[in-house]
Structure 1
Amino acid sequence: MMYMQLTGIARSLMAAAFAAAVLTAPLASAWQADNGDGTYTNPPLNADYPDPDVIRVGEDFYFATTTFANAPGLRILHSRDLVNWTIAGHVLPRLPGGPAFDLDGGNVYRRGVFAPSLRFHQGEFIVAFTVVGQHTRLCRAAQVAGPWRCHTLDRAAFDPALFFDTDGRAYIATAIGSDGTVTLLSLSPDLTRVTEARQIHHIPGAEGSKLIRRGDWIYLFNAVPRRLAMTISRARALTGPWETIPSINSAETGGHQGAIVDLADGRWWGFVMQDRPAIGRVTNFSPIFWRDDWPVWGTPEAPGRVPAIARKPVQGQPRAAPATSDGFDAPQLGLQWAWNHNPDDTRWSLTERPGFLRLKATTARSFWTARNTLTQKGQGPYSRADAQLDLRGLAAGDRCGLGTLGKVNAGIAVVRAADGSLSLQRHTLIDQGDSQDATTLPGPAVPLAASRVTLRLEMDFGRARGRLSWLDGAQARPLGDEFELIYDWRTGTFQGPQVALFCFNPDREGGHLDVDSVQFSDRPPAD
């Protein structure tokens, strides 16, 4: 493959044509579940939003989700109808913990923030969560966008289920899948101390607890990961005795970790997580009906499963979706973005060149270990991200570009050589879970004469394949072969593949990359 050598004027015209072609192309924000006819298609969020907890406050719904090592951490979304969601904010500006959260001496991929439990009590949002290897934290805020104030309990509660009973008393239920014993922690009125711990139930392999009250019954929902299934238990009192029945499962009926949420009109709706091979764990929403005071997913005509298409629980709300495209015109990052770990804030800026995201080359062996790798979620069933890059600030040895962060970390980087020349290079890093910087497979390189380039990432989750290209005029030219899109909880990031912008230098802190924009589309190009 040859790159056509261009004059300065021609390069400028070509760069302008690139920008015009990309910016005027039909764009969409993300998968749109709202069918526009009063129905929706599952999942409302066709992306990796695992370990859901959903509450209603008035006519508003809030959805808290696991974010692992990403910073900011603990994402909360907002909806008025359980179908159309936008990002409301994050609880943690930075991940608390040791140096590994800063990518110092190791990493915390597959760890970090797990399974938050969100509640609204006495005018405050309250969330309980456990960072792997640390004690459980409770954070409070008057507004879901924050600011949040946090304190730490004296123990770790795995997958904590925060619960406020009708008398105002607060509890946390917790169970870990290696055992399945459900322990009830009683909290002090100010929520700062555990006053009692009591074993109340046992379900082999259970975790992911949720506690909900409906009338005289208290319902305990638990995931059983080894079966990718969910159980429902009920009792008249928190201490039992409990009755337990099997519920739905991920492989056959639509999910395996979740619970129920009430609507303003008194109806109830269900939400569950489902593992999908390439994209990760998505959250489905379902009507439920009650039979003998047990919640049943689906409808009386089709009981026991999450429907593929259902009537929206609340009618009349406009379509909405989490943001994706970004022109970096604001002085702060869009809520769709998250760093791979706590970033080094000296290595990025939105203000040094207004209208651009500046990523400064940090010392790292790859973007897997760089402290300024910026990510957002891949969107199913197809994602296309075009990143327009200004390369003039790159220094010798810098490797800056676009790729995926996950298990298969494929990147297309612009590399500045010692003689000042630029080239596009492709490499693939596959994390095997046993090393900080795993196997790197080198790929092809292409000389680059222009000082601006548009790089393209395509993720086809239906085929579980990704492709990296660069734009030669209006023509996308792939660099290297397609690569696999893999979700794997044992290796990688424990998340579905993410879009990644990166800039690093293996030997020293280097120059910088200016990102003009990232334009997203959920439709393949018409070529």
Structure 2
Amino acid sequence: MKAGSAFAAGLLLATAASAQVWRSDQGDGSYRNPVLYADYPDPDIIRVGRDYYFASTTFANTPGITILHSRDLVNWTITSHLVPRLEGRPQYDLVGGNAYRKGLYASSLRYHAGTYYLANTPVGQNTRIWYARDVRGPWRYHELDRQAFDPGLFIEPDGRAYLATASTADGTITLLTLDRALAHVTASRKVHYIKGAEGSKLLRRGDYYYLFNALPPRLALSVSRSRSLFGPWETRDQIDDTTGGHQGALVDLPDGRWFGFVMEDSGAIGRMTNISPVFWRDDWPVWGTPAAPGRVPRQAAKPIAGHRFAEPATSDDFGGRLLGLQWQWNHNPDPDRWSLAARPGWLRLRPTVAERFWSARNTLTQKGQGPASRGEVKLDIARLAPGDRCGFGTLGQISANLTVTRDANRRARVAMEVTTDRVEGAQTETRATTDLPQGDTLWLRTDMDFTTSRGRVAYSADGVRWTGLGGDFPLAFAWQTGTFQGEQFALFCYAPAWSEGWVDIDSFRLSRLTPSGNAPR
């Protein structure tokens, strides 16, 4: 069977209403990797008492830096975000260009003496040390006098604090000493060199300090150990993307055991996080188990038994006063052009001024879910004005969308458009266009199958009978172009000139598809 035909056949097997696209917790005391089948890159996980917190990169999406919570390292929910908006560049407001692949990168999350700390270096700006008494915020920050790439924060029990930093271009690992307030750098010292190192993480166990570094050129992870933070350091390779992942570190359990977390490049869905048991041999951590050392297991016993299944929210009826934590805007939103209050129970998007989808503000996104998933939205298009371009689809290196318009005679049409971001700029192709039946209610859906890296869109006038438009399209991820994120679901509304129109969105529903190809897990 051809790939396109296999994909189409798989779409017929979508389940009705389950948001549980992927379940890591197997319900029998075991779990399978990844713990979240979605793009949660650059993980940093800490334990505070019985609670685990997981900080993940968000780039130009807002709110920025997602923080998740778990009691067992397997079942995660979103608990907060670090910041409501991005600062420091007009492009974060989509003024004078876009900020895709900029924004907030790898963070380091720590807890000490009743305060949460998070170190982050916004692209092109100095490092900030955020702090809050509650992980849900509000967060405030001290800004340092320099940029520490992918900073790794470490705090001794007596409060002495340090940042480890390295960039792939150099590989030199520098240790910055901070003052007691974590507000100023008081000393800087080069302490180690590992070719291609970045993404440093520091921890201590017994007499040794351990330094973990990602090695992106090899998609590998190294560990170094020393009896002093200032070295000398011994270094060993640990794992790589063929055995589990290439950026991460360890977190301890209350009973003294250790587990590792690591991200793995996973194709169009982006970079997913795996969790692994870790044992110790001669004071070196070894990923996996004594029976199968040196690799992250595909399935293993849960780190902590007895906790129920949980997952980040997905489906939404827009009945709340605030957007759900699963939603993010593609850049800083214009608050005057969207509302949950204008029509209670509906999300209203008013057009922002833009020439095309790639440069449109107020595109509302959430992560694509694997192995294969379907997003379905119900729209009221009664108040679309001529020139308005509103709809639903994907945002990523390749963005495929169903765009709904009205002409001067109020006739509604829908077009399937594919935008591909390249180094020289985004280019858009209109694949197909058709007239819509009379009526103001419209359903749109987007299917993403990450086992075949293919997608498909369809529309319906009644939510029952569906018509595909434009055929299959590819799903893709690359750090050099696109958004530096896996493919996302995207709701949008823009126009080439100021408009008094709008679209109302009644609901978003996520459901599971039967994958057309072989799931990697």
- Post-superposition CA distance 1:224-243 (Å, at most 9, x none): 10000011000001001100
In structure 2, the CA distance between the partners of 1:525 and 1:243, relative to structure 1 (3 Å rule), is closer
Shift of 1:417: 1.0
% identity of equivalent residues: 57
Describe the SS at the equivalent of 1:515: strand
Which residue of the partner structure matches residue 484 of structure 2?
A: 494
Asked if residue 61 in structure 1 is aligned to residue 49 in structure 2, the reply is: no
Asked if residue 39 in structure 1 is aligned to residue 37 in structure 2, the reply is: no
Describe the SS at the equivalent of 2:249: strand
Counterparts of 2:141 and 2:38, CA distance in 1: 28
Contact 1:161 1:210 in 2 (8 A): yes
Contact 1:455 1:468 in 2 (8 A): yes
Describe the SS at the equivalent of 1:346: helix
Counterparts of 1:434 and 1:131, CA distance in 2: 24
Which residue of the partner structure matches residue 314 of structure 2?
A: 324
Shift of 1:488: 0.7
Q: Which amino acid aligns with 1:132?
A: V
**For residues 285-296 of structure 1, what are the structure 2 equivalents within 5 Å?**
285-296=275-286
**For residues 360-399 of structure 1, what are the structure 2 equivalents within 5 Å?**
360-399=350-389
- Post-superposition CA distance 1:189-212 (Å, at most 9, x none): 111100001000000110000001
Which residue of the partner structure matches residue 300 of structure 2?
A: 310
Shift of 1:150: 1.5
Which residue of the partner structure matches residue 227 of structure 1?
A: 218
Q: Which amino acid aligns with 1:424?
A: V
Shift of 1:524: 4.7
**For residues 249-264 of structure 1, what are the structure 2 equivalents within 5 Å?**
249-250=240-241, 252-264=242-254
- Post-superposition CA distance 1:100-150 (Å, at most 9, x none): 111100111011100000000110111000111000011111111111112
Shift of 1:30: 3.7
Which residue of the partner structure matches residue 73 of structure 2?
A: 82
Asked if residue 125 in structure 1 is aligned to residue 99 in structure 2, the reply is: no
Describe the SS at the equivalent of 1:95: coil
- Post-superposition CA distance 1:468-512 (Å, at most 9, x none): 101254222111011001011110000000000000112333411
Asked if residue 460 in structure 1 is aligned to residue 487 in structure 2, the reply is: no
**Aligned to 2:101, which of 97, 103, 110?**
110
Counterparts of 1:330 and 1:166, CA distance in 2: 42
Q: Which amino acid aligns with 2:363?
A: T
Asked if residue 173 in structure 1 is aligned to residue 164 in structure 2, the reply is: yes
Asked if residue 447 in structure 1 is aligned to residue 438 in structure 2, the reply is: no
Give the root-mean-square deviation of aligned CA atoms. 1.3
Contact 1:29 1:324 in 2 (8 A): no
Asked if residue 351 in structure 1 is aligned to residue 377 in structure 2, the reply is: no
Which residue of the partner structure matches residue 7 of structure 1?
A: none
Contact 1:169 1:187 in 2 (8 A): yes
Contact 1:425 1:443 in 2 (8 A): yes
Describe the SS at the equivalent of 2:413: strand
- Post-superposition CA distance 1:325-372 (Å, at most 9, x none): 000000100000000000111110010111000000111122221111
Which residue of the partner structure matches residue 10 of structure 1?
A: none
Counterparts of 2:461 and 2:409, CA distance in 1: 24
- Post-superposition CA distance 1:425-470 (Å, at most 9, x none): 11111000322xx111012112112201110000000010000101
Q: Which amino acid aligns with 1:179?
A: D
In structure 2, the CA distance between the partners of 1:525 and 1:360, relative to structure 1 (3 Å rule), is farther
Shift of 1:216: 1.0
**Aligned to 2:173, which of 176, 182, 191?**
182
Q: Which amino acid aligns with 2:219?
A: L
Asked if residue 403 in structure 1 is aligned to residue 386 in structure 2, the reply is: no
Counterparts of 1:125 and 1:318, CA distance in 2: 26
The TM-score with structure 2 as length reference comes to: 0.94
**For residues 424-439 of structure 1, what are the structure 2 equivalents within 5 Å?**
424-435=414-425, 438-439=426-427
Which residue of the partner structure matches residue 28 of structure 1?
A: 19
- Post-superposition CA distance 1:374-413 (Å, at most 9, x none): 0000011011010000001111111111010001111001
Which residue of the partner structure matches residue 234 of structure 2?
A: 243
Counterparts of 1:159 and 1:386, CA distance in 2: 37
Q: Which of structure 1's runs of 4+ aligned residues deviate more than 3 A?
A: none
Contact 1:397 1:510 in 2 (8 A): no
Counterparts of 2:128 and 2:88, CA distance in 1: 12
Which residue of the partner structure matches residue 516 of structure 1?
A: 506
The TM-score with structure 1 as length reference comes to: 0.93
Contact 2:371 2:515 in 1 (8 A): no
Q: 139-148 or 206-215, which moves further after superposition?
A: 139-148
Contact 1:376 1:500 in 2 (8 A): yes
Contact 2:18 2:511 in 1 (8 A): yes
Counterparts of 1:353 and 1:482, CA distance in 2: 35
Q: How many residues end up aligned between the 2 structures?
A: 500
In structure 2, the CA distance between the partners of 1:457 and 1:296, relative to structure 1 (3 Å rule), is same
Which residue of the partner structure matches residue 3 of structure 2?
A: none
Structure 2: which 5+ residue stretches go unaligned? 1-14, 517-521
Counterparts of 1:72 and 1:464, CA distance in 2: 28
Counterparts of 2:89 and 2:265, CA distance in 1: 30
Structure 1: which 5+ residue stretches go unaligned? 1-23
Q: 133-142 or 441-450, which moves further after superposition?
A: 441-450
